[in-house]
Amino acid sequence: MQSSLSALLRRKVKSFAIIRSLGATGRFLLQHYLVLVVGLSLLGCGLGVFAGLVMKQSLAGLLAGFLPENMALGVSLTDLVEGMALGLVVVCFFTFLPLGIIADVKPAAIFRKERVGGLHKTSSRLLIALGILLLAGLVVRQLEDLRTGMYFIGGMLGLIAVIAVVIGGLIAVMARLRLRALPLRQAVRSLLRPGNATRAIVVTLASALAVLLSIFLVERNLRATYIDSYPVDAPNLFCLDIQKDQRTGFLELVGGDVELFPVVRGRLQAVNETKINREAEGKKGRGDSLAREFNLTYREALLPDEILVEGDSLFGAKEREGGLPPVSLLDTVVEMGDMKIGDILDFNIQGVPLRAQVTSIRRHTRSMLYPYFYFVFPEKYLKAAPQTMFAAMKVPAGEVAQLENRIVSRYPNISPINVGETAVELGRIMEKLSAVVTFFAAVSMLAGALIMVSSILATRLSRMEEAVYYKILGAGSAFVLRVFFLENLLLALLCGGCGMLVGQFGSWAVCRYFLEIEYRPYWPACLVLLAATVGVVVLLGLLSSITILRQKPAGFLREQG
């Protein structure tokens, strides 16, 4: 917006100079300019409100899986007025910087070519700071949460800053390259022409692509981890809180060879007499905290999907220190507390202390959908402790609901969990999320396309001058077309490449540190996105330059005097 208006005003410098020479004041020119801007702004805001009303129903269907079922979408006059006012404020904000062009025009500009500037750097920085404060206020108002709003603003500004620094470095490197091919050399110089919005285009498109690619990659990784990788033979029905006296009746009810796993609740109090720091552990995620309550169990052998990574047997053959009870650890809990074989662990099992010595470390080789326990004791040490049991069963999908009803009818205390249905529902949510990502990707690409078109229009005069000078020096339209093609290709590669790299890094960080799942980069899909971005940007840039390519040198020189 700013660059387009600046270009429009620069093309009318001689007209402003003539008006000033006839006695007009800067205030008169400013009023004329403001009427033009406000009129176009009202038209644009009106079209935006109309488009929003048209898209309302489509968005309702698109977000149906994420909104409350009884939620009704309506139209509020207050929201419409607020939207119009916000649009006008944004337009006024971005059109304030070109005001310096009008203020700098002097009557003498009629007789000589002058390059007019804009506001001073101090004024520009103050205006940018004011814009950030305005944006922060709007975000906090919409979210109604200061902390969340500040996180959002900080993340957004951080993303833009990272991309801006990367793009600035790449452009600086490109400016220093000594390229032999003349079309490529001229294309690089065209990207750096005065008034060009190369950085604005790249930062906008790359930021949008990075966010959308991150959402896409996180969604694909979640699907791959929890849906696509769901083992065919994995249990799909878990039954919790089975009492010991219900064991025989439960097995008769469900039929088949179902294994029941005893569960004893307990807390880890100390490792080698060093007490667990519950305050520090509480700041960790629940899965990494040693302060939480654990499910302990007892058995005498490894499960079919377990292997020993340390130790000669599950509970060791050697005599333990002081005849302490043995305990086998899962390798994941070892990483939480930096434990090893021979360590002494103190437990509190429902008020009863129990000290044990680590005799082996196990690894779970299959999906976490199969039963697993962090701590395993011999049967004689926990058999008398208060306990429940749980079962993991593989039931045909069509019989799960009936079996659940039979179990609950006979044993109301037992809690059946249909994991298969949960996976199906998660798949539906992922499909909805994919549709939402696709929609917003299209909107972001449209916004980037508009910015690119505005940049081409803003630098139209400079592009025409270049094309005319090329032709005067003997170059044909094919050479000019090649230069414009390479310019748009470089622009597209900057946008797509930077967006892809930042998106990959962001999604990796989310999967690795927040979701704690294996990360898959999906390079083929990323390369398809990069190719699509390059194709759209190049095609749009060339289509917008057709009239420039057709410009005749003689006609242009006559117009410019």
- What tokens were used for 340? 């090893």
| Spatial distance between the Cα atoms of 524 and 307, rounded to a whole number of angstroms | 35
Q: Positive or negative, the Cα torsion across 50, 52, 53, 58? A: positive
In three-state secondary structure terms, 263 is: strand
CB 496 within 8 A of CB 209: yes
What pLDDT shows up at residue 374? 92
| Cα Rg of the chain, angstroms | 34
| Spatial distance between the Cα atoms of 246 and 242, rounded to a whole number of angstroms | 6
Q: Which of 88, 115, 118, 106 is nearest to 3 (CA)?
A: 118
CB 271 within 8 A of CB 347: no
Q: What count of residues does the chain have?
A: 561
3-state secondary structure 227-251: HHCCCCCCCCEEEEEECHHHHHHHH
CB 204 within 8 A of CB 448: yes
Q: Which residues contact 323 (CB under 8 A, 6 or more apart)?
A: none
CB 237 within 8 A of CB 419: yes
Q: Could you tell me whether strands 274-275 and 352-364 are parallel, antiparallel, or unpaired per DSSP bridges?
A: unpaired
| Spatial distance between the Cα atoms of 16 and 107, rounded to a whole number of angstroms | 8
What pLDDT shows up at residue 457? 66
What pLDDT shows up at residue 370? 75
What pLDDT shows up at residue 470? 83
In three-state secondary structure terms, 503 is: helix
Residue 238: phi, psi to the nearest 5?
-110, 140
What pLDDT shows up at residue 391? 92
Q: Positive or negative, the Cα torsion across 123, 124, 129, 131? A: positive
What pLDDT shows up at residue 378? 93
Stretches in the chain below the pLDDT threshold 70:
1-8, 10-11, 57-73, 96-97, 99-101, 103-104, 109-124, 193-197, 229-230, 256, 282-288, 317-322, 367-369, 441, 444-445, 448, 451-452, 455-461, 556, 558-561
- The domain locations on the chain are 1-144, 185-232+420-561, 237-393
Q: Which residues contact 209 (CB under 8 A, 6 or more apart)?
A: 444, 495, 496, 499, 500, 503, 529, 533
Roughly how many angstroms between the first and final C-alpha of the chain, as a whole number?
28
| Spatial distance between the Cα atoms of 529 and 358, rounded to a whole number of angstroms | 51
